[in-house]
Amino acid sequence: MDTHTGTLFQHPDRNLAMELVRATEAAAIRAVPFIGRGDKNAADKAAVDAMRKFLGTVDFDGVVVIGEGEKDHAPMLYNGEIVGTGRGPACDIAVDPIDGTSLTAAGRPNALSMLAVADRGSMLDASTVFYMEKIVTGPEGIGVVDLRQSVGENIRALAKAKGKDVGEIRVAVLDRPRHAQLIEEIREAGAGTRLLLDGDVAGGINAARYESRIDMCIGIGGSPEGVATACAIKALGGLIQGRLAPKTAEERERGAAAGLKFDYVYGADELVRSDNTFFVATGVTDGELVEGVRRKGPIIRTESIVLRSHSGTVRRVVADHLAEKWLDEGPALRATL
């Protein structure tokens, strides 16, 4: 046994989930004063500070594989940062204290605070290539849907697998100019779109949930978000595939130097090799996946979702926090809640 840590061969266990949810709850609550205030950087900073503080108390030896620094130029929770007490399982971590900073700043729905955890060395480090083409469905899409097929073929195949008419299929896509042709093809195939202003992590998870009105999530989004989403999809038993989409030749060269594959479709087990992943998210603003933070008399209520691949469980955690413990933010937090 390696005596360097003594915990190298331990895996994250179920108790870790409730520790992690404290970090996303804190980040979501601290972001509240900035909802609708037009300053996404201030919202992100407040959430980053809160998440980092709580992660520092968790008994695990965590290294941030997917962090804030690359995307938002954040000074904390950067790629490679060590978090936790150093006692307990050795883990890779993907963090996004606010997935949807623009949504938060504008006061729009579907912003959430999230993090994902897996065994050390199991997450694909795609930080050198920012964008990834992704497709996500529920279990019915396995062996049926494939990024190498046209979107029309995928829609028709998924409809048949789900026993639906093509006209009943709903496809979530980020509303971006780069997706204009994709959106047209979805509609030409006979399916309907659900255009996302931001937050394709929630879109992907909703595509894999059996009770969701979304059947598929497709398009080009962040590579880090693709890896984090894979942690959740493995718990839901769904399908996720990703293909790197570098914007420049230089970015492709950097990715190749880091060992990444191009013109190659990564499956869930390649995005995250661990069979024991956690995904935790707390709502900042209301959305289909989770409700946002809200004040109810003397308490602040949060709703979170906790997914674990090892047990295949999805848990919802509704927590009531004594408001007076959080109101050191002053009038802004009181007014917003």
Please give the annotated binding residues for substrate, written as ranges: 99-101, 131, 176-178, 198-200, 222
What angle, rounded to 10 degrees, do the helices at 180-188 and 151-162 form?
50
Q: Is 298 exposed, middle or buried (0-12, 13-18, 19+ CB in 10 A)?
A: exposed
* DSSP single-letter state for residue 19: H
Q: Say if residues 217 and 239 touch (Cβ distance below 8 Å).
A: no
Binding residues, by number, are: 44, 68, 96, 99-101, 131, 176-178, 198-200, 222, 225
Q: How many residues does the chain have?
A: 337
Token code pair at residue 247: 């914007």
CA nearest neighbour of 245 among 133, 149, 127, 151 = 133
d(C-alpha 187, C-alpha 167), whole Å = 9
- Which residue blocks in the chain are alpha helix, DSSP H? 14-31, 40-55, 69-72, 101-106, 151-162, 180-188, 200-208, 223-236, 249-257, 268-271, 331-336
Q: How far apart are CA 60 and CA 16, in angstroms?
A: 8
Binding residues for Mn(2+): 44, 68, 96, 99, 225
The pair of three-digit structure tokens given for residue 97, joined into one six-digit string: 């204290």
Three-class DSSP labels, 267-298: EHHHHECCCCCEEEEEECCCCCCCCCCEEECC
